[in-house]
Amino acid sequence: MLSSRNGRADSLTLRAHVLDPVSGLDGPAAVTVEEGVVTAVESVAAAPEGLLLAPAFVDPHVHLRVPGREDEETIASGTAAAAAGGYCAIVAMPNTDPVVDTAPVLQALVESAREEAVIPTGFTAAISKGQRGQELTEMAELARAGAIAFTDDGRPVASAGLMRRALAYSAVADRPLALHCEEPTLSQGGQMHEGEVAAALGLAGWPSVAESLMVERDLALAAYEGRPVHLQHLSARESVAAVRRARHAGVRVSAEASPHHLCATDELVRTLDANVKMNPPLRTEDDRRALVDGLLDGTIDCIATDHAPHARHEKDVPFEEAPFGVTGLETAFAALNTFLVRTREVPLATVLERLSAGPARALGLPVPAIAVGEPANLVLLDLGAEWTVREDGFRSRSANSWLLGRTLVGAVVKTVAAGRVVFAA
Amino acid sequence: MGDSRRHLLAVGDLAREDAERILDTARALERSLDREVKKLPTLRGRLVVNLFYESSTRTLSSFELAAKRLSADTMVLRAVGSSVDKGESLRDTALTLAAYDPDVIVIRHPHIGAPRLVAAATDARVVNAGDGKHQHPTQALLDLHTIRDALGRLEGVSVAIVGDVLHSRVARSLVEALVLVGAEPVLVAPPTLLPRGIEAIGAAVSHTVDVVADVDVVYVLRMQAERMEAAYVPSLREYTALYGITPDRVRPGQVVMHPGPMNRGVEIDARVADSGASLVTEQVRSGLVVRMAVLYDLLTAPGLHVAAVPELEVA
């Protein structure tokens, strides 16, 4: 299901404080990798100051823009960016041009990934043909061709009837649905979170209830059909509460939050910088805290970047004319470390689990773990390193980061994905 | 950083003393309008460019005349029938204009933030002549000038702003300006035409027109027919019945204002519009002197209090 270009497996030894929420390791150790496989994990008396070794990250939500917008991102550039961000696997969204809604389009992507992908890469396919919300895609054939999940991300499924059929039929494909929850008649024309900041600026609101209402609908349908659902990029307090209730009631639900929704609020929109325009929008401090609480208690089990590259000329326009979306692969860990871990809002181990094992489990991918016999999927982090986010510092083809100009703490030193060193600072 | 240019992008750029200085300048300039020769040499040799992406006879002619009365050279660029129609970006249009070294660019644009982008892309001083539903600061200043002329004060004056607040840059700017000078705004509209959270900018809010009886100034906003399509109100008929400013809703001693253009018989009854209480013509006259004062202030007055434009990440 995951594809990447061929290459020789590496052998190396890394000495650091090892923190792996999956295997339970938490202490200084030397990890030996031989031909891509972990062959020894040995406790040592001391490790270099500030260096931390953890299972590499898995991003369930990336826009690689291929096919159609190769000027914004390619499989090669997007996976290089992911490697630099500490990722050992990513999953790409199907809202491309053309949409990934037939097996030949998906197969072409898988073949490209075998040529270009620096790290293992998976692809999703659309729920509806053309993401038009009318007819289902051939899910069984798409699943055989390698679809990790089905999603109409970017174009929410407006019809409850179609969503119900999609949930029922996804059993045939045996893949989860990943849902972008947005009630389009409530969010229509919305530019930012509906609230005090939008009122002051005169920007049309995209209200929280447009998300939470759709979350409630989709959870009710998932419960009715007895099918698992994965909810993408949650942003509102009410959505987190709905997921928590549904899970207690036995619904199989996993949920994402993005670094920007976990770290920032709609106050940033006062700058009118188009690089803080995303869908769903940044919300209030109250919503942000609810997301953090969800992350802490596991209601939110995945951190997903929703990496959305855009050409500079498309963002260098008045706010309302700019497209939604920000990049995130290369800044995710540093942002979370700076705004959540160092402020003691969230323990480092929780952030690491939600960046790696959480998303892997949610989408049925191999769970990265630091243990003898496991393939090496490792990220070496310098927790104290300070760096400033700069437009010319990205591997991604696009630089529409909400963090441009900010100084962050925490840097990726080395990434090992599927047994190969894919990034070294 | 190091940018000493001053702009008028939003009412929030102004400190109270800035607003008062501009209003005092406007009052001084007003006297020049009573002379036989109305032109002043103050801005001779300066270039003022009016860059208009929305049609606006009223605001455009006001800025044109204001610049001409101060002897500045003026140039009008309209979005219709220009390179803008050929897909040129705002940034490129601004850079093209910058080649003429304009001293001031006055911009009207349908989208919020366009004036800021022009300020970041050029060396000119920028005046926001209306950006989307965001701000229209010279309208707010001319309204303050009109109220001060009519009532002799601003501090403590109560102003009911009645109508489609949701889609109104005039309402937003005016509330901020009234709060700045110590006046007391109250917004009157059906809940569907009030943005959620608008109280945070400092206005009281009412859903019934009764509160109009208690204020000094009744400020009527334009109600557009297209608001029915998105179900903001069920009909103009019901809107007029509930919120229309009719003679029985105006008591003696109150003044009535409207930013224009008026929909007579919808938000304002013709009998009110043409009555002695109406300050609509005074607003137009105020517009001219206030815009003269703004141009004068940006190009000549020491700008210790007006905020420089914040750095925008446009690389």
DSSP string covering A88-106, please?
A: EEEEE-S-SSS-S-SHHHH
User: Which residue of A196, A206, A268 is the best one to mutate when testing the B interface, meaning the one whose CB has the most B CBs within 10 A?
Assistant: A196
The alpha carbons of chain A give a radius of gyration, in whole angstroms, of 20
What is the pLDDT at residue B46? 96
Least confident stretch, A193-202, B58-67, B217-226, B304-313 = B304-313
Residue B225 contacts A where some CB pair is shorter than 8 Å: no
Greatest pairwise CA separation for chain B in angstroms: 56
Q: Domain count of chain B?
A: 2
Measured between CB atoms, which of B169, B172, B196 is closest to A205?
A: B196
Residue B118 lies in a domain: yes
Residue of chain A whose alpha carbon sits nearest to that of B203: A200
Task: Please name each of the domains of chain A with its CATH number.
Answer: 56-368 (3.20.20.140)
Q: Which residues pair with A20 in a beta bridge?
A: A25
State which amino acid sits at residue B235: S
Same domain as B217, residue B147: yes
Q: Where are the alpha helices (DSSP H) in chain B?
A: 16-32, 57-69, 90-98, 114-121, 137-151, 169-180, 236-243, 270-273, 280-300
What is the pLDDT at residue B252? 95
Same domain as B149, residue B78: no
Is the confidence at residue B84, as pLDDT, over 70? no
Same domain as B238, residue B143: yes
Same domain as B33, residue B129: yes
With CB atoms and an 8 Å threshold, state whether A317 touches B195. Answer: no
Q: pLDDT exceeding 90 applies to what percent of chain B?
A: 82
Is the confidence at residue B131, as pLDDT, over 60? yes
Write out chain B residues lying below 8 Å of A312, CB-based: 315
What is the pLDDT at residue A2? 96
What is the pLDDT at residue B312? 33
Same domain as B157, residue B229: yes
Return the DSSP state at A367: P
What is the pLDDT at residue B309? 34
d(CA A100, CA A112): 14
Same domain as B182, residue B211: yes
| Pairing mode, strands A177-179 and A253-257 | unpaired
pLDDT one-digit tens code per residue, A34-58? 999 999 999 999 999 999 999 999 9
Read off the pLDDT band of A129 (50, 70, 90). Answer: very high
Same domain as B261, residue B205: yes
pLDDT one-digit tens code per residue, A229-285? 999 999 999 999 999 999 999 999 999 999 999 999 999 999 999 999 999 999 999
d(CA B294, CA B129): 12
Minimal CA separation from B183 to chain A, in Å = 18
Locate the DSSP E strands across A180-275.
Answer: 192-193, 205-206, 229-231, 253-257
Residue B6 lies in a domain: no
Q: How many residues does chain A have?
A: 425
Residue of chain A whose alpha carbon sits nearest to that of B310: A271
User: CA angle, corner A332, sides to A327 and A333, nearest 5?
Assistant: 160
Q: Which of B212, B298, B201, B288 is nearest to B256 (CA)?
A: B212
Write out chain A residues lying below 8 Å of B11, CB-based: none
Residue B214 lies in a domain: yes
State which amino acid sits at residue A420: R
Is the confidence at residue B311, as pLDDT, over 90? no
Residue B155 lies in a domain: yes
Is the confidence at residue B301, as pLDDT, over 70? no
Residue B315 contacts A where some CB pair is shorter than 8 Å: yes
DSSP A31-71: EEEETTEEEEEEE-S---TTEEEEEPEEEEEE---TTT-TT
Same domain as B211, residue B170: yes
With CB atoms and an 8 Å threshold, state whether A199 touches B91. Answer: no
Query: Which residues have C-beta within 8 Å of that of residue B99, sequence separation ≥ 6?
Result: none
pLDDT one-digit tens code per residue, B135-172? 999 999 999 999 999 999 999 999 999 999 999 999 99
What is the pLDDT at residue A337? 98
What is the pLDDT at residue B310? 35
DSSP element (H, E) containing A360:
helix A357-362
Is the confidence at residue A302, as pLDDT, over 70? yes
Residue of chain B whose alpha carbon sits nearest to that of A390: B315
The answer to whether the peptide bond before residue A228 is cis (omega within 30 degrees of 0) is no
Is the confidence at residue A107, as pLDDT, over 50? yes
With CB atoms and an 8 Å threshold, state whether B112 touches A202. Answer: yes
Cβ-based neighbour number of residue A240 at 10 Å: 27
Residue B117 contacts A where some CB pair is shorter than 8 Å: yes
What is the pLDDT at residue B59? 96
Residue B313 lies in a domain: no
Query: Which residues have C-beta within 8 Å of that of residue B81, sequence separation ≥ 6?
Result: none
With CB atoms and an 8 Å threshold, state whether A203 touches B109. Answer: no
Write out chain A residues lying below 8 Å of B195, CB-based: 194, 198-199, 202, 205
With CB atoms and an 8 Å threshold, state whether B315 touches A195. Answer: no
**Average pLDDT of the segment spanning A372-377:** 98
**Average pLDDT of the segment spanning A407-421:** 98
A306, A316, A382, A392: the active-site residue:
A306
Same domain as B46, residue B89: yes
Q: What's B150's domain CATH number?
A: 3.40.50.1370
Residue B134 contacts A where some CB pair is shorter than 8 Å: yes
Q: What is the mean pLDDT of chain B?
A: 90
What is the pLDDT at residue B87? 73
User: CA angle, corner A128, sides to A123 and A129, nearest 5?
Assistant: 90
What is the pLDDT at residue A1? 85
Write out chain A residues lying below 8 Å of B314, CB-based: 316
Read off the pLDDT band of B198 (50, 70, 90). Answer: very high
Residue B169 contacts A where some CB pair is shorter than 8 Å: yes
Provide, for chain B, the percentages of residues in helix, strand and coil under a 3-state DSSP scheme, each rounded to the nearest 5: 45, 15, 40
User: Which residue of B53, B91, B111 is the best one to mutate when testing the A interface, meaning the one whose CB has the most A CBs within 10 A?
Assistant: B111
| Dihedral sign from CA coordinates of A198, A291, A356, A40 | positive
Residue B112 lies in a domain: yes
Residue B4 lies in a domain: no
Query: Which residues have C-beta within 8 Å of that of residue B277, sequence separation ≥ 6?
Result: B250, B254, B255, B256
Residue B313 contacts A where some CB pair is shorter than 8 Å: yes
Q: Which of A228, A296, A238, A229 is nearest to A262 (CA)?
A: A296
Residue B246 lies in a domain: yes
What is the pLDDT at residue B81? 56
pLDDT one-digit tens code per residue, B213-268? 999 999 999 997 777 777 899 999 999 999 999 999 999 999 999 999 999 999 99
A140, two tokens? 């069984």
Expressed as residue numbers, the domain containing B296 is: 11-136+284-300
Residue of chain A whose alpha carbon sits nearest to that of B90: A317
Same domain as B294, residue B239: no
Write out chain A residues lying below 8 Å of B111, CB-based: 318-321
Catalytic annotation present for A20: no
Same domain as B272, residue B151: yes
Is the confidence at residue B55, as pLDDT, over 90? no
Is the confidence at residue B212, as pLDDT, over 80? yes
Same domain as B275, residue B157: yes
Is the confidence at residue A164, as pLDDT, over 70? yes
Q: What is the ipTM of this complex?
A: 0.89
Is the confidence at residue A126, as pLDDT, over 50? yes
